[in-house]
Amino acid sequence: MLYLNVGNEFGGHQSHGPHTLIAGETGSGKGVLVQSLLLDICATNSPKRARIRMIDPKAGIDFPWLRTMPHLDGELITEQSQAIYALEELVAEMERRN
């Protein structure tokens, strides 16, 4: 079993980093892995503790349920121009925090 402790340490393990990029070939199981990770994050963290920015180049067909989750920060991003803007925002926030 895998626990994603994004808030603080849990079970003697350090907290995990809040940013994730998953890449791979078509049919390699990325979508299933991402859905499992997102469900775990939503089930075990309040929306105040875990905010999700999701870029889905497949028009959101794998994540319709995510649109109704209070953890989603903004809209499910499906357009390239929206993705570029969101990534620029995230980089600016990361630089602000550092």
The domain limits of the chain are 1-98
Confidence grade of residue 3 (pLDDT, cut at 50, 70, 90): low
Q: What is the pLDDT of residue 1?
A: 56
CA distance 8 to 2: 15
Of the candidate ranges 14-18, 50-54, 63-67, the one whose mean pLDDT is the lowest: 14-18
